[in-house]
Structure 1
Amino acid sequence: MRRIATLVAALALVVSACSAEGSGGGGDASGAKIAFLMPDIASTRYELYDSPLFKAKMKELCPDCEVIYQNANADASRQQQQANSALAQGVKAIVIDPVDSTAAASIVNTARSQGVPIIAYDRPIPDTPADYYISFDNEKIGASIGKSLVDHLKKTGARGGILEVNGSPTDAAAGLIKKGIHSAIDDSGFELLAEYDTPDWAPAKAQDWVSGQITRFGPQIVGVVAANDGTGGGAISAFKAAGVNPVPPVTGNDFEVAAAQRVVAGLQYNTISKPIKIVAEAAAETAYQFVKGEKPAGKTTLFDTPSQLFEPTVVTLDNIAEVLAKSDQIKPSEVCTGEYAAACAEHGIAS
């Protein structure tokens, strides 16, 4: 009887251990390294917001965890090297905003072969799904900025056509934004005069292309759907350089300080507020779960990847004061400087 009792007790311990392991309780993340690999410096958000916000949340969750941050400066080969270096340093999870969504498949495969989970951030990796995807809803962003522009053009009685300035052709998120834009403008009654996929999201390349279209179409252009604030800013610069006044309404996305200033000044029609704190902190929380050995469930699925997609907010002159008042990303005082102070006061933006 004593032997049976001993065996029963041992079996109970094994069952208890297995139960704890399968319950999602997770392991010890103490001292773990997490890679945070961002794609470029053309957009100021990665250095100013994404990286510091991710690091801050990670420190809150795991004070002795280490974040290895790298920016690939729009070079897919460099990002591959950075991922390889992170794996060699023993990271337990990689959060990556890919330069090239197709090329990033090899990073996923290499990490997976070493048992390291990949969290796609902002841009998905369609060909070889990551372990998780966190972003604002990019297709909805495109649809929102496109519809906002079309509604404005109809309200003002505009007659003519639209230019479409898309993001990088190697960025799957840009493809989703593009799809959303087309859903809003294809049956809008406004002719799509021309569209352009902007290499590396480079504002200068967007400006050069729009300059050529101004020469080609002139006053036929009544609006521009630009996929982010950088390309939108490039489009606006092209009109100003060509002496077009007023500049036709131009869209954007990211709610950068410069874009908010252009909205206040009446140069940019809209942008998209997508508080980076939301996605950066969600990415940190997800990475922490993976590091602890847990497998977070997605709220939805995109490209066969468990995903969490957040809702964007369109910002125009009509609501920018309200959005700025609630923003923890941009302060009114950053927007309402120098030449923009009078316009801010006119539109009720307290700096």
Structure 2
Amino acid sequence: MQFNAKRGLVAVGALALLLTGAACGNDDGGSTGGGNGASVDKGFKVGLLLPETKTTRYETFDKPLIEAKIKELCPKCEVVYQNADQNHDKQLSQAESLITQGVKVMILDPVDAKAAGGIVTKAKDANIPVISYDRLTQGPISYYVSYVNKQVGITQGQALLDALSKDGDPKRGQIVMINGSPTDPNAADFKAGAHSVLDGKVNIGAEYDTPDWSNDKAQQEMEQAITKLGKDKIIGVYAANDGTAGGAIAAMKSAGFAKIPFVTGQDAELAAIQRILTGDQGMTVYKAIKPEANAAAEMAIAAATGQTYSAASTTTNNGSVDVPSVLLPPVAVTKDNIKDTVVADGFYKVDQICTAEYAEACKAAGLL
């Protein structure tokens, strides 16, 4: 999978180039460094804690990309990986296990960002720096890498508003908002961004926060909205990610919608790209994972070896500290730019997207 900076995602590609080779400076060790004797020459253990498997990106992209970058930067290093399956208590136990195993740095994507402050505190007590990955964790973390999360919601909300406006008065019916997990701070940012675009311009007939980002719960929420509003009144759906979008679409199909209204999404999951091709989903947000994973790996090596990661050019306050951060821009994907985004960047190959079932839709979109 090769990140192509020349087509579609110039800003992300440029930042990816900035990150390359920036992990290890010559700083004598500050608050971001580990100072725990870790050495690239000798190698050390890097803990990697990811939150769940319901979203396909973590196992398919984040984990292997982070592992590959760690191996590139530190050939003798070992990545010790655990997935929490959306269970904070399990993630806490996994973190304690990593500390016992002697990891020198921890990359943490928390199930519950607030509760994960306890993980960060335990790690700090063991002199282990923590890199907050994708979701902003509370506590004394060393670095944070993610996307401009409010902009994700703005991008989704604007796409929905544009689609509704194209077909007439955006207040002619009701929209349903299916937000993400209430324990995920990113979900709050997505929600705030979407509301900043939609409030006052559309009628929000029903809104839900979806525990655990569960596809099944999103489907149930959509079923409740259909019962409450009536299927003929629903003209659009704000779904915070592709999993919840899939649940909402399944509910509408079961309810016998003559045409699925415009549905947003996020993560550019393969199933979502295929739904966009067939018209079942309106858009998704592509967050190029490779530069995020690379930055996390570079931050981890720098922090473990007591050096400064100079590419963290901004800060994010997590409620207790201003965290040196890398924040990447999101990109909207529609039927019109699939070829110039996820295909051009090698995120998916055309033959992965254009199976026999989607061949005609792919031809219509210029992919075949």
Partner of 1:138: 149
Partner of 2:94: 82
Post-superposition offset of 1:333: 1.0
Alpha-carbon offset, residue 21 of structure 1: 6.4
1:71-117 CA-to-partner distances (Å, cap 9, x unmatched) read 00000000000000001111111001100111100001111111111
- 1:190-339 residue pairs with structure 2 within 5 A? 190-218=202-230, 219-297=232-310, 298-303=312-317, 304-339=322-357
1:321 deviates by 2.3
> CA deviation digits over 1:263-290, x for unaligned, max 9?
0010000001111111111111110111
Q: Is the 8 A contact 1:135 1:279 kept in 2?
A: yes
The residue number in structure 2 matching 1:11 is: none
Structure 1 CA distance for aligned equivalents of residues 146 and 157 of structure 2: 19
With normalisation by structure 1, the TM-score equals 0.90
Q: In structure 2, how many angstroms separate the alpha carbons of the residues matched to 1:247 and 1:307?
A: 39
Find the counterpart in structure 2 of residue 13 from structure 1. none
Pair 1:281–1:21, CA change in 2 (3 A): closer
Residue aligned with 1:222, SS: strand
- Pair 1:180-2:193 in alignment: yes
Per the TM alignment, residue 69 of structure 1 is displaced from its structure 2 partner at its CA by 0.7
Rounded Cα–Cα distance in structure 2 between residues aligned with 1:280 and 1:324: 16
* SS of residue matched to 2:263: coil
Contact 1:165 1:197 in 2 (8 A): yes
Q: Deviations over 1:232-270 (max 9, x none)?
A: 110000100000020111000000100000000100000
> Closer, same or farther in 2 for the Cα pair 1:272/1:239, shift >3 Å?
same
Measure the CA separation in 1 of the matches of 2:65 and 2:108: 15
More helix by share: 1
Inter-partner Cα distance in structure 1 for 2:83 and 2:112: 13
Q: Any idea what SS the aligned residue of 2:332 has?
A: strand
Q: Which residue of 2 aligns with 1:344?
A: 362
Preserved CA contact (<8 Å) 1:324 1:332: no
2:125 paired with 1:116: no
Structure with larger Rg: 1
What are the ranges of 5 or more consecutive residues in structure 2 without an aligned counterpart? 1-25
Q: Give the root-mean-square deviation of aligned CA atoms.
A: 1.6
Contact 2:28 2:307 in 1 (8 A): no
1:188-232 superposed Cα distances (whole Å, 9 cap, x missing partner): x21111211101000000000101111111222110111100001
Amino acid at match of 1:330: Y
In the aligned structure 1, how far is the partner of 2:355 from the partner of 2:291?
Answer: 27
Matched, 1:101 2:108: no
Structure 2 residue aligned with 1:164: 177
Matched residue type, 1:302: T
CA displacement at 1:129 relative to structure 2? 4.3
Q: Which has the higher contact order (CA 8 A, sep 6+)?
A: 2
TM-score by length of 2: 0.86
Q: Percent identical across equivalent pairs?
A: 46
Task: State the distance in 1 between where 2:333 and 2:93 align.
Answer: 38
Gaps of 5+ in 1: 1-19
Q: Give yes or no for contact 2:28–2:306 (8 Å, CA) kept in 1.
A: no
Q: In the comparison of the two structures, how many residue pairs are matched? A: 329
Partner of 1:148: 159
| CA pair 133-279 structure 1, distance change in 2 beyond 3 A | same
Distance in 2 (CA, whole Å) between partners of 1:168 and 1:213 is 18
- What secondary structure, in the 3-state scheme, does the structure 1 residue paired with 2:237 have? strand
- The answer on whether the counterparts of 2:27 and 2:308 sit within 8 Å (CA) in structure 1 is no
